[in-house]
A and B are shown apart, each in its own frame.
Chain A
């Protein structure tokens, strides 16, 4: 059984008649904090149960680390990238790349090199680009976001893998800028 809104309201009725301003309940399954401030009650809750996964599923447990989700343990970020598809790491300025301009993703999401599956990529290494050339798209929450080159020059390096997750501010490619 889980605690629903009606249970919470019943608890609140008891609390309303009291002088308490905060109630915290913790069981194996949940943690509930009710707070009174400014004459209003708010709730914060945490579900502490561990998911029970059926084995022999169509898609195996893979990266699921047992024990990582014990109550109180730091929760692993549930954004799992497919094992074969490394997540692009935010790039620091290296010796070679110091001269190059990094093109970063505007948002975390799925990086696509071409406008649709099977189509030619927007750019390749060596492609000449202008500041407003679309070089990729990143899909975030069902929205397609265009990624612009940001400077004129030539594509020197493509750093992210097509159709994989890129994290906030990840470097997608590097442009060798034109010397004006």
Chain B
């Protein structure tokens, strides 16, 4: 079945990214927008828009009924959920099935299998993947016993969690009780599900993930990405392939990811996240993200595929038209996320009007953004403004292009993370590659500029 009209239930740069591929494929786009996004750049670029509710996400982008109603009203044959919002929501996928609408994503059962962290761990075990030592902690007693057996420090995570919310590091037995209570309360408030589990805290770890693609029968991988540069579990810089990995380790990680997805008979695009334990020289399964990721362009850069087009092809019921042997990797790619945040003020959000938006252009430089001069960054949604992606024959060549691209890109009107990225890529540790997940915390401790003035001027620059 060839899709002719797709409802895009998202906003910002990813909405624009999806529109671009649909346009190329001759698919009509209808963008579901909140009242705050009626005049956004993606709204102007889409063939049509349909308003699904007022500005706050819970009343619009997170409203399953409004999204389904909108798809019905405009006669869309499919819904592309992008990332975040309802992208991994089994209720939306079920509602689509009930309404005869194609959900561009995995099956309801697959969403359920990976959406709950404990279920995902069980599937990983069944598929033969190594797991971080840990498990469920239904009571304080259970948590104590478990923590003693795996050893402190431990991480408490929310079973229904994501994006680092409800996650806590516990250093000792004495801290465990209050930390468990706090995590359960946070998890309940954020996800409506208070279940938590414990994991060994890996002190020297790298976040390495594998892009997988399946058609329900066959699964292939599109290589690794390293996303170790994180702040409060939010990724800031990603690269592909993961640098400084021994060939045997890379192959083991890639095969494990394929084994996990194949075990689920996975359909669509997904990412299997692994934690590399650098001290023990081994890796563990962390979780699977059943959607397109923010950082997908670095994978596109090294394998030459359009991942949104691949998602659409699978959603149309096609078989993968490439085999693992057809996938060829070329060079190295790095992505910087430019957020509307003031890194000198503990990453305080900086919504407001953008006065100047100029981006570097040139060979090996790609900028995915919905931001132009005059655009308003609303306070209702996340702070991503642009992704600057560079590609080069080697990591050093990519880094050279990144330096150029960051230097010649300008955003005025709101505070952004551009200056932070410029500082990071000048750091010799970053240039060497293979940083641990603790890298950014240490970098910030050494490099955060002292605030020029404490006056509450709103953090504009």
Contacts and interface: CB of A to CB of B under 8 A. Distances in A.
Contacts of B357: 44
Chain A: interface residue count, which band? 35 or more
B372 A45 contact: yes
B55 A79 contact: yes
Nearest to B66: A58
Contacts of A64: 38
B439 to A, nearest CB: 23
Contacts of A82: 35, 54-55
A106 B363 contact: no
Interface stretch (A107-115, A127-135, A153-161): A107-115
Contact of B38 (A78, A107, A108): A78
Interface residues of B, number: 66
B18 to A, nearest CB: 13
A116 B189 contact: yes
B95 interface: no
B340 interface: yes
Nearest to A143: B349
Nearest to B409: A42
Interface in B373-420: 373-374, 376, 378-383, 404, 407-410
A49 interface: yes
Interface string A152-180: 00000000000001001100000000000
Contact of B43 (A8, A38, A51): A51
A144 to B, nearest CB: 10
Interface in A89-145: 104, 106-110, 116, 139-143
B309 to A, nearest CB: 14
Contacts, number: 169
B388 to A, nearest CB: 12
Given A41-B361, A42-B360, A107-B458, A168 B35 contact: no
B51 interface: yes
B39 interface: yes
A4 B23 CA distance: 11
Nearest to A4: B20
B51 A78 contact: no
Given A2-B20, A58-B51, A108 B381 contact: no
B126 interface: no
A17 to B, nearest CB: 15
Is chain A's interface secondary structure helix, strand, loop, or mixed overall?
loop
Interface in B323-378: 340-341, 348-349, 351-353, 356-363, 365-367, 372-374, 376, 378
Contact of B380 (A40, A69, A110): A110
A38 B45 CA distance: 32
B352 A108 contact: yes
B44 A50 contact: yes
Contacts of B360: 40-43
A46 B30 CA distance: 21
B11 to A, nearest CB: 11
A9 B363 contact: yes
A25 interface: no
Interface string B22-44: 01000000100001111111011
Interface string B56-84: 10001000001001100110000000000
Interface string A62-88: 111000010000011111111000000
Contacts of B54: 59, 80, 82
A9 B362 CA distance: 6
B39 A109 contact: no
B55 A80 contact: yes
A2 B20 CA distance: 8
Nearest to A110: B56
A56 B69 CA distance: 11
A14 interface: no
B35 A59 contact: yes
B368 to A, nearest CB: 9
B373 A78 contact: no
A141 B381 contact: yes
B52 interface: yes
B144 interface: no
Contacts of A75: 39, 374
B379 A78 contact: no
Contacts of A62: 35, 51
A72 B270 CA distance: 42
Contacts of A142: 381-382
B39 A69 contact: yes
A54 B38 CA distance: 11
Interface string A21-54: 0000000000000110010111111111111111
B1 interface: no
Contacts of B356: 44
Given A34-B361, A59-B35, A141-B341, 9 more contacts: A5-B361, A41-B362, A41-B408, A54-B48, A58-B66, A59-B60, A62-B51, A80-B35, A143-B349
